[in-house]
Amino acid sequence: TQLLEQSPQFLSIQEGENLTVYCNSSSVFSSLQWYRQEPGEGPVLLVTVVTGGEVKKLKRLTFQFGDARKDSSLHITAAQPGDTGLYLCAAPSTNAGKSTFGDGTTLTVKP
């Protein structure tokens, strides 16, 4: 079973602060994905990281895949209220099957 542990479970910060959330596992993955889910909506894919040590940037969001491909982090610079949501990491299928999700980090950015 590919168990993905995300931390922290909840995070509440002020606008303008920086933050990092984590996704850890004892398993090695061929890739990991990060999704953001807003209330009342389905998850939306933000990024896929594939190579160990890879860093990808999406505006103020920086995603890193661990060297051993067992963990990943998401760093947000100068958070804004629009960043509020549930951030999920997921291990996509290696073949044709399911993706497995962590329980997510609920981020609240206060204006």
Partner 1 sequence: GAGVSQSPRYKVAKRGQDVALRCDPISGHVSLFWYQQALGQGPEFLTYFQNEAQLDKSGLPSDRFFAERPEGSVSTLKIQRTQQEDSAVYLCASRLTYSGANVLTFGAGSRLTVL
Q: Which residues make up the interface to partner 1 (CB under 8 A)?
A: 4, 6, 40-45, 88, 90, 92-104, 106
Write down the least CB distance from residue 3 to partner 1, Å. 11
Write down the least CB distance from residue 16 to partner 1, Å. 26
* Cβ–Cβ under 8 Å, residues 49 and 31: yes
CB nearer partner 1, residue 77 or residue 94: 94
Instruction: Answer positive or negative: Cα dihedral of 46, 84, 88, 51.
Output: positive
DSSP 8-state symbol, 78:
S
Write down the least CB distance from residue 43 to partner 1, Å. 5
CB nearer partner 1, residue 84 or residue 92: 92
Q: Which of 65, 60, 51 is nearest to 23 (CA)?
A: 65
CB nearer partner 1, residue 66 or residue 104: 104
Write down the least CB distance from residue 97 to partner 1, Å. 6
Q: Which of 15, 5, 3 is nearest to 107 (CA)?
A: 15
CB nearer partner 1, residue 84 or residue 99: 99
Phi-psi region of 30 (alpha: psi -120 to 50; beta: other; left: phi over 0): alpha
